Structures are given as C-alpha cells and as structure tokens.
Amino acid sequence: MLHAFFFDSAANQPHSPALWVDGHSYTYGEIEVQVRRVSSGLASVEQAGDAKRCLLFAHRSAAAYWGVLGILDAGLAYVPLSPKMPAARIAAIIEQSGAPVMLVDGHCAAMLDEVLPLLEEPPRIFRLDEEGINPNQLSGASRLQPLPVAAYTLRRGTMSDVAYVLFTSGSTGTPKGVPITHANADAYVKGQLQLQEKYSNARYIQLCELVFDPSVHDIFVCWANGGCLYVPDTVDPLFNADFIKRHEITHWNSVPSVAGLMQQMRKLAPAAFPSLRVSMFGGEPLTRSLTLAWMRAAPNSRILHMYGPTEATIACTCFEVQRGFLEDGQNTVMPLGWALPGVELMVVDAALERVAFGQRGELLVAGPQIAGGYLVPDDAGSSRFVKKVYPGRRARRWYRTGDVASTTADHGIVFHGRLDRQVKIRGNRVELEEVENVVQACSQGTQCAVIPWRVDEAGRAAGLIAFVANVRVEPDRALQACRQRLPSYAVPERVVVVDSLPLNANGKIDRKVLAQQCISDTLADKTMDRSVRRIAERLHA
C-alpha cells in the first residue's frame, strides 16, 4: 500500500527527521503518532454511502501531511483541495468526488465561508488541527468538528483500492477526476527506487501543491528512501534559491518554468547549488539553454527529464541529460526518453495502428501505472482508454495521451506537441510547440509561448503571436531568423518581449492570460483608431 512506504521507514528510523514545515522539524515517530490519531478518528466516523473517499483541504502545513497518511491508513482515498483554486472549482470537485467527509487545517478553514454556500449537500467537516482556526469568525463554524478520539485498529486494504483522486482540467472545462489505485502508485514509486540510488540524509523539496501529482512523487519517494521532506512557504524563485542553500536540499522536482524564473532572476550562478544530487523536471518541454544553466548551477546533480499524464501516475518516461547531448546545438529541447520499469510505449496513427520507426503519431502508454478510468465516466473520457493487442507487447489496455511523438534510436521517445494544440493557419497545419522551439532559439529567450491570434468565431486562426521572456536578440532580427527556419504561414506576426510569462496554479505557462492580453491590446488599438479618426474628421471640418 502507498502509505506503507512511510511506515516501513518509521519502523526502521523513528528518530530520523521526516518533515520540515513552518520552521519546525518532525521525526518519523512524531508524525506516526499524529497519523494514527487521524486514522482512528476517521475510522470511527460513520461513512455515508460507499465512496471511501475523504476530502483534504490543507495547505503547506504539517497537518496536511499527516492528513494524507491518516486518510490512507483509514482505508480511504484522499481528494486534495487547494485554497489557490477559485471557490466555484473547489465546490465542483467536492460535489463530483462524492466524499462524505472533509479534513481542514488552519490555513484553509476561513475559505469555507466561500465554498459551503455553493454546495447542495456539504460534507461533514473535521478539524485537522486547532492552530489558526477561530470558529467565531466562520459562518459555517457549526460544521467544524474535532476528530473523534478512538482506539487505533490496523485496517488492511487491497492494492486495487483507490489511494487518491486528482482532478485535471477536462476539455469541456469541467474538472475530471482521476482515481489512482495503490497498485498504480506502488508501481511508480518502486520504479523510481530502481531509477535513483539511495542517498543518506536525503532532503527533498516539495514545491508542487497536493492537487498535482508530482507532489505524490516528492512525498512518497522521499519517505520510501527514509529522507526528509522540506516544504517551503512559497514557490517564489528568489526565496527558493536561498532555501536550497540554507537547507542543503539534495532532491529537486519542478516544472521547467519555475527554474526559468530562477534563471531570469539570476539565481542560477555557477555552483550555486552544490548540495543537489537529483534534479527532476517535467510537465513542460525542457530547453537546452535552461538545462545548461541548471547544470552549471548544480554541478553535482543528475538531471532527469520526466514525462507522464496524470492518468499514467506521475511519470512514465525518463531521459537523463548528458553533457554530450547538450553540446549538439541542434538538440534544443530534451526528449522524453525511455519507458520507466513496467511501462510500455507505442506510437500510432489515427487508426491506432503502429507507425514506422521515426514517424510521428500519437503516443500510447500502458502498464501497471495506468488508471482504470475517470471518476465520472463519459464518452470522451472513455475513448482515452483503449483495448488493443500489438505484436510483441504484453499490454492489452492503453491510454491515449493526445501527444504527438516519434521513436528514435539514440534518445527514445521525442515529443512534437499536442494533438489538441495543432492549429491551421490559412489551411496549413502548425504545431505550436515547434514554433515555440524555433522562436526561443532565434531570440535566445529563456521562455517562449506562442498563441494563435486572431481567432474567429469558427476557431480559425489568422496568425500567431509569440511572447518571449528575457530575450538577447532584437525581436525584428528574431523574426527574420524564424523566417529562415519556418514556413511563412508558421512565422509569428510579431514577437512580444515580456519580463516573465504568467504562470497558472501548477506553475505552467498560462496561455489564457496571454490571449486575454491580446484581446486587451486589440481593444486599446481600436479605441486609439477611433480617436485618431475623430481628430481627423474635426480637422477636416
């Protein structure tokens, strides 16, 4: 079971540090006491229905982590919520989860006043801790209860039980729940234990929120290795560069955009992070320029580029970056690499037939990490999971990632973009990731995002606009260079230089904000045009 990784380490090293948060350090033994309290309290609460799920509304607190373990130990699946989400999205997740019980910490209790009025049938809400909760300040205070005190009883589950449910952004805009079983998560953690050697006094940093699955890696791979999890108060790049040094962090895991911001803030000085031993990046393309900067800043660290959708449990491929690969200037983006232990990969055409070696197609993933489906099945979601037998492959069930990829002999799987980010410009197909890679290389910027603009009511794009951060080449010169590497219809109409690109809640580039900026700029241009016309008309009169 997923939580067994923690309890095994707790049995072997109860006095070793397991968690650092809010300026306090907790040992495995201290956390275990709190976990048993939460577990026994939840087990004594009457569960309505058969959902076997518990909501966890907690944020960067010690209670959040013994809440995760306590829920699992009680035989339930945890469904994390984040105060960074809008209240309406939190309410939608609560209702879709069907969870009858919620645990809340002091960081999130005040937000209940925004969320509870949006629910038809609120769950029963229990306090994880007392700190920071003032019931007199909450209109929903009567719903907050202390967890019952009960004798602890060991509960045994099965590997097919759901360990956690994470909600991704569905194509319709409605949150889509992905239940991950203990078997799915166990396969991933054991694969990571094969990939990474064990370090004494390992210190893992937890940047990702609990609502995103890289957090599962940070928590359970750390505890499986007997390490200590360090939870900073913020993901601010200035703060976390110093945090790495002060706490001598050994294991880093983030999306590339976080490291890109650190690079922009000039925090990736040579040998800035000598303590780092393993640096993992995933969730976005990892560029050569950023990788080189990180390699200089963390000279003692392995750099692993990971890939995997939530439905495939955190990550299913890995590419370990070697200096020789970076010396070739043609390698502008890190490939996805090879399958993790137990995972199978396949590149197929639209008919789900295997494409020739080196040809592009949709990437399929199979193996013990693949989820059983979505919490609320629908036709679109169900079509993502397909049953098909391929010669020479063990798998009978595959997940369609929606990612365009090809297979290479030297670098494994190479990513070419999203099927759903493919646009047509004047009837020609354009992969936005491909354009981003070229623009970034030509401008020598640290980050780049390309969006279709303008888009008409039918969804047809008239052209492209590129947003680039921290450029070293003038925009006009960069566009000229792009014209030499891209067909005319794929060359952006303009390059907009920005100090930094906006990020969404999980640290990825927020392209919706960039599109809104285009709308605002267009409206401003139209207003200016009208003003100029009015002045011209008065002069003419």
- How confident is the model at residue 520, as a pLDDT? 77
Task: Please report, for the domain that includes residue 445, its CATH number.
Answer: 3.30.300.30
Rounded to whole angstroms, the Cα distance separating 249 from 271 reads: 14
Q: Could you give the 3-state DSSP secondary structure of residue 399? A: strand
Rounded to 10°, the helix 288-297/256-264 angle is 70
CB 28 within 8 A of CB 6: yes
**449 and 397 in a common domain:** no
In this structure, the answer to whether residues 101 and 170 fall within a common structural domain is yes
Tell me the residue range of the domain where 156 lies. 4-231
Is residue 461 very low, low, confident or very high in pLDDT (cuts 50, 70, 90)? confident
Instruction: State whether 81 and 156 are in the same domain.
Output: yes
- Mean per-residue pLDDT for 467-489? 88
The Cα–Cα gap between 42 and 101 comes to 9
| 384 shares a domain with 473 | no
pLDDT at 537 over 50: no
CA 508 to chain centre: 8
Residues 102 and 185 in one domain: yes
**What pLDDT, on the 0 to 100 scale, is given for residue 63?**
95
End-of-domain residue from the set 187, 205, 231: 231
d(CA 454, CA 494): 12
Sheet harboring 144-146: ordered strands across?
144-146, 124-127, 101-104, 53-57, 77-81, 162-169, 175-181
The answer as to whether 101 is a domain residue is yes
Range in 202-206, 326-330, 505-509, 516-520 the model is least confident about: 505-509
Domain-embedded: residue 96: yes
Q: In whole angstroms, give the CA distance from residue 5 to residue 8.
A: 5
Q: What does the pLDDT look like over 145-193, one tens digit per residue?
A: 888 888 888 888 899 999 999 988 654 446 789 999 999 999 999 999 9
For residue range 253-279, what is the model confidence (pLDDT) as tens digits? 998 888 988 998 899 999 999 999 999
In a domain, 16, yes or no: yes
Same domain, yes or no: 111 and 73:
yes
In the chain, the percentage of residues whose pLDDT exceeds 70 is 89
pLDDT over 90 percentage in the chain: 59
Q: Per-residue pLDDT tens for 114-137? A: 999 999 999 999 998 755 455 555
- Check pLDDT > 80 for residue 523: no
pLDDT at 132: 47
> What mean pLDDT value characterizes the chain?
87
Are 27 and 50 a contacting pair, CB within 8 Å?
no
Weakest mean pLDDT among 20-24, 272-276, 442-446: 442-446
Does the pLDDT value for residue 534 go beyond 50? no
Mean pLDDT within 524-532: 48
Sheet holding 447-452, edge to edge: 447-452, 464-469, 494-498
Q: Does 486 reside within a domain?
A: yes
Confidence (pLDDT) at 144:
77
Return the pLDDT at 141. 47
User: How far, in Å, CA of 454 to CA of 457, rounded?
Assistant: 10
The model's pLDDT over 1-17, given as tens digits with 9 standing for 90+, comes to: 999 999 999 999 999 99
Q: What's the pLDDT score for residue 533?
A: 43
The answer on 220 and 96 residing in a single domain is yes
pLDDT band at 531 (very low <50, low <70, confident <90, very high): very low
The answer to which of 258-272, 299-313, 460-474, 513-527 has the lowest mean pLDDT is: 513-527
**Environment class of residue 384 by beta-carbon count within 10 Å: exposed (0-12), middle (13-18) or buried (19+)?**
middle
Q: Report strand pairing: 24-27 vs 17-21.
A: antiparallel
Verify that 13 and 98 share a domain, yes or no: yes
Residue ending a domain, among 203, 231, 259, is: 231
Domain count, the chain: 3
Please tell me which residue, 169 or 482, carries the higher pLDDT value: 482
Tell me the CATH number at 61. Answer: 3.40.50.12780
Q: Which residue has the tokens 């008919």?
A: 351
> What band does 142 get if pLDDT is binned at 50, 70 and 90?
very low
**What pLDDT score was predicted for residue 524?**
60
Domain endpoint, select from 395, 418, 441 = 418
**What's the mean pLDDT in 432-438?**
86
Q: Is residue 493 part of a domain?
A: yes
Q: Do residue 411 and residue 432 come from a single domain?
A: no
The CB-based long-range contact list for 81-88 (8 Å cut-off, 24+ gap) reads 81/55, 81/56, 81/57, 81/108, 81/211, 82/209, 82/210, 82/211, 82/505, 83/57, 83/59, 83/107, 83/108, 83/111, 84/59, 84/209, 84/505, 85/211, 85/505, 87/111, 87/114, 87/115, 87/118, 88/118
pLDDT category, 536, cuts 50, 70, 90? very low
- Residues 39-80: tens digit of each pLDDT: 999 988 876 566 799 999 999 999 999 999 999 999 999 999
- The alpha helices in 451-510, defined as continuous H runs, are 475-483
In 22-61, the DSSP E strands lie at 24-27, 53-57
Clarify whether residues 395 and 503 are in a common domain.
no
115 belongs to a structural domain: yes
Report d(CA 374, CA 476) in Å as an integer. Answer: 47
CA–CA separation, 332 and 419 (whole Å): 21
For residue 344, the surrounding DSSP H or E stretch is: strand 344-348
Q: Dig out the tokens for 488 from the structure.
A: 């005319």
| pLDDT at residue 464 in the model | 94
Residue 62 maps to a domain: yes
Say whether both 450 and 400 belong to one domain: no
DSSP 387: E
How confident is the model over 73-102, as pLDDT tens digits? 999 999 999 998 888 889 989 999 999 999
Q: Which CATH number fits the domain that encloses residue 401?
A: 2.30.38.10
Q: Are residues 437 and 411 in the same domain?
A: no
CA distance 433 to 507: 18
Q: Would you say residue 262 lies in a domain?
A: no
**pLDDT interval class at 456 (50, 70, 90):** low
